[in-house]
Amino acid sequence: MDTQEQKEFTSMPRIGDKAPEFKAVTTQGNIHFPNDYKGDWVILFSHPADFTPVCTSEFMTFATQEEKFAKANCKLVGLSIDGLYSHIAWLRSIKDKIEYKGMKDVEVKFPLIEDITMNVANKYGMVQPNEAATQAVRAVFFIDPKGIIRSIIYYPLSLGRNFDELYRVVVALQAADEFGVATPADWYPGDDVIVGPAGSCGTAEDRMSGKEDMDCKDWYFCTKKLDKDVVLDKILKK
Ligand code: BEZ
């Protein structure tokens, strides 16, 4: 391994970094990432292995919700350290044989990357050797239309992801960008949002004297209304 390769193997991309570039074979043809996704949000996620039950439940859930994510301008790309023919056979089995929580006949239409060489998994720090040396953990990278990593969530092998939370993150990141606000704990569209910190003593004073259209409990904790329809109107495709 040369030094650059070693660095890629041991380093993990972080929030704010450019998404590492790669070319890969997928169940939907070749992709050049993140270039092919410029202008869209994308969730790049890994799972430990094909033909495993937790992963199967996750793929069925993601596939069933793909349209919902697409409406929020977000595409999906999966990955595991398996080969293309394994991926194809697994996705066919899911469609033909698996029924789960009312989902059946589920066709996975988003790309699933073959990564038998672990090239992509290593670039993204998806293999965490003390959890599993040859399988990726359940990593989720939220990448913005400029190819910047905006959030990362990791789950261990035994824990299936919460898809409501993944969707909430996609919407909250876009709301923060669109409206220049932050979103508090457990925020959903329609809840009040957090106004950025006061940058001067004067602003702090103005906020506390009620001059601004916001609700301040103290100078550093100010919220304002942001209508659900206004948020969804901006974010969701018509
Ligand atoms: C699963 O997806 O079911 C699974 C994969 C690896 C380890 C444990 C569970």
DSSP-assigned letters across all residues of 196-235? PPP-SHHHHHHHHTT-SSSEEEETTEEEE---HHHHHHHH
The ligand 1 atom at the shortest distance from the C-alpha of residue 135 is: 6
User: Are the CB atoms for 189 and 231 separated by under 8 Å?
Assistant: yes
Read off the amino acid at residue 134: T
Question: So what's the pLDDT on residue 211?
Answer: 86
Helix (H) and strand (E) counts in the chain: 8, 10
pTM, 2 dp: 0.95
Query: Ligand 1 in contact with 64 (CB < 6 A)?
Result: no
- At 6 the pLDDT is 60
pLDDT of residue 9: 60
Burial (CB < 10 A; 0-12, 13-18, 19+), residue 141, is: buried
The closest alpha carbon to 19, from 165, 110, 120, 134, belongs to 120
Q: From the CB of 31, is ligand 1 less than 6 Å away?
A: no
Residues 6+ apart with CB under 8 A from 146: 38
For each of the domains in the chain, give its residue range(s) and CATH number, in order of start: 3-161 (3.40.30.10), 180-235 (3.30.1020.10)
- Neighbour-count burial of 9, counting CB atoms closer than 10 A to its CB (0-12 exposed, 13-18 middle, 19+ buried): middle
Which stretches of 130-189 are DSSP H helices?
163-179
Please check whether residue 54 is in contact with residue 156, taking contact to mean a CB–CB distance below 8 angstroms: no
**Would you state the pLDDT for residue 118?**
97
> Which residues are identified as catalytic?
55
pLDDT at 11: 75
Q: Are 142 and 170 in contact (CB under 8 A)?
A: yes
What is the residue-level pLDDT of the chain in tens, covering all 238 positions?
Answer: 566 666 656 679 999 999 999 999 999 999 999 999 999 999 999 999 999 999 999 999 999 999 999 999 999 999 999 999 999 999 999 999 999 999 999 999 999 999 999 999 999 999 999 999 999 999 999 999 999 999 999 999 999 999 999 999 999 999 999 999 999 999 999 999 999 989 999 999 999 998 888 999 999 999 999 999 999 999 998 7
**Which ligand 1 atom sits nearest the alpha carbon of residue 56?**
2
Is the CB of residue 166 less than 8 Å from the CB of residue 139? no
Q: Which amino acid is present at 146?
A: K
Residue 132 CB less than 6 A away from ligand 1? no
Q: What is the pLDDT of residue 3?
A: 63
pLDDT confidence of residue 237: 87
